[in-house]
Amino acid sequence: MKAVGRDGGRTGGRGNGGGIKGDDSSTCTCGGEARLKDSTSHVSHVSGKFHGFCFTPRHPSYQISPRKPIGYHFLNRKRLNMEPMITRTTIHPKYCLISAIVAFTSLCLFLCAQQGRAQAMAGAAGTLDGLKSFGTSGKAVYPFPEGDKTEAELLSHTGKGCLTHMWFGGNWKDWDKIRIRVYVDGEKTASIDMEMFLGHGIGFADETAPWGTRRIGKTGQPSGIYNTYRMPFGKSVRVTAQLAAGNEKNQRFWYIIRGVENLPVEFSGVRLPDSARLKLFKLEDYKARTLEEFNMIASNSSGMLYQITVAAQSGNFEYLESCVRAYIDGAQEPMLLSSGLEDYFLGTYFFNRGMYHNDVAGLTHKNDKDHSFSGYRFHEDDPIFYKKGLRLTLRCGEQIGNQKHNGKTQTWSAPTTTYTTYVWVYEW
């Protein structure tokens, strides 16, 4: 390595030239020489290779420290009243190649990260660009000019999207039985046709309030019923209301309905197909005999179980011993969804602690005198999927045997019991 001073002379030794202390020397192709020993500030020279640049201080009392980088000496030159002297340094081609590879790899990673970030932002922006809210409301309106003969249209919307919110208010006889219907994609018969209270998990017109969960709730007495069911549609959606039979007069009504265009439906990290539609299967006022197993739903489609509401009444609470059974994809043997009916709704010992409401399940009615109850159970976070059909059953009482930890047959007999069940499923 050759260190060339401002006067064109060579540096060496410890004179006014301010050379580098050391005993080893090497000759540069430039014709000069420099001395190095254990210095991390310079790279040993190989003749005829690439030349870099470094700064060598010119001061008679200044020594290059092997423990300090050359930048340290350069930055301190002013303090020592020194002027830098450019030195040509040679780097082994091996180090050049390694440095080039590291630099190229770092550049590639940076560019990929930037591209991924740009794509993610563009995707998010594209998704948001497609979303558009819509909705309507009615405040103290009279939409039933012919009483129970009028099916009043509350909302009509064209396009693709999803209903996300409904709220209803009113106060008249049989208000709990007003029918709300949702027609999607031009269907003539509504795939969702629900009584007001049962459609929100409440049986026997129970006015207990206030309570609320993420999906359903009752905040007032009377009225103040809401839901945030996701009801997808592909072309259009209509929502109507009709008074219960026997209501011949117009009634004062409040409502709010909203939705979002192009909003997908997702549960438990799974996005449902665009063709998925929310459907309601009902069994109303069914009288089941002792130990009879009966269907709540029998479907041959593909889909996901979403929610079940049961309202039942009998001579005693023995009917709560029933296990909920799911026959999935045509299976002959069921999957037991519970160890009892109150267990299915996350209760215990015939709901001995009274009413409760949470995001997964709730007890919305219980009467110890007439042995009636109602409850809801959601399967958003506990998904049950099927590809070739689903059959869900209850039994009036229970008879079960050949269990893993009890091989004996056990029987709980319940008297004739009246059931109303709402089973909500997404199907495609």
DSSP of 293-358: EEEEEEE-S-EEEEEEEEEEE-SSGGGGGPPPEEEETT-SSPEE--SSHHHHTT--TTTTT--EE-
Model pLDDT, residue 179: 98
Model pLDDT, residue 99: 78
Same domain assignment for residues 138 and 169? yes
| Amino acid in the structure at residue 28 | C
Model pLDDT, residue 91: 59
Same domain assignment for residues 255 and 281? no
Model pLDDT, residue 119: 62
Q: Could you read off the pLDDT of 81-123 as tens digits, one per residue? A: 555 444 455 556 667 778 778 888 888 888 878 776 766 555 5
Torsion from C-alpha of 403, 407, 413, 414, nearest 10 degrees? -10
Is residue 34, in this structure, part of any structural domain at all?
A: yes
Same domain assignment for residues 281 and 217? no
Model pLDDT, residue 115: 75
Model pLDDT, residue 304: 98
Is residue 120, in this structure, part of any structural domain at all?
A: no
- Answer with the one of 60, 91, 122 that is the final residue of a domain: 91
Model pLDDT, residue 97: 77
Same domain assignment for residues 175 and 240? yes
Is residue 389, in this structure, part of any structural domain at all?
A: yes
Nearest partner of 56 among 95, 1, 127, judged by Cα: 1
Model pLDDT, residue 90: 58
Same domain assignment for residues 144 and 44? no
Sheet holding 179-184, edge to edge: 151-158, 236-242, 179-184, 192-195
- Answer with the one of 33, 68, 91 that is the final residue of a domain: 91
Is residue 359, in this structure, part of any structural domain at all?
A: yes
Is residue 271, in this structure, part of any structural domain at all?
A: no
Same domain assignment for residues 50 and 180? no
Same domain assignment for residues 16 and 156? no
- Answer with the one of 237, 263, 289 that is the final residue of a domain: 263
Model pLDDT, residue 101: 85
Is residue 411, in this structure, part of any structural domain at all?
A: yes
Find the domain containing 372 and state its range.
Answer: 277-427
Same domain assignment for residues 281 and 366? yes
Is residue 363, in this structure, part of any structural domain at all?
A: yes
Is residue 116, in this structure, part of any structural domain at all?
A: no
Going through 216-262 in order, the beta strands assigned E by DSSP cover: 216-218, 225-227, 231-233, 236-242, 253-261
Number of domain units in the chain:
3
CATH number at residue 218: 2.60.120.1390
Model pLDDT, residue 118: 65
Model pLDDT, residue 92: 66
Same domain assignment for residues 312 and 347? yes
Same domain assignment for residues 233 and 303? no
Low-confidence ranges of the chain (pLDDT < 50): 1-62, 64, 66, 68, 70-75, 77-80, 84-87, 124-126
Same domain assignment for residues 369 and 415? yes
Question: Can you give the pTM of this predicted structure?
Answer: 0.72
Model pLDDT, residue 281: 98
Same domain assignment for residues 85 and 156? no
Model pLDDT, residue 127: 67
Nearest partner of 232 among 392, 63, 428, judged by Cα: 428
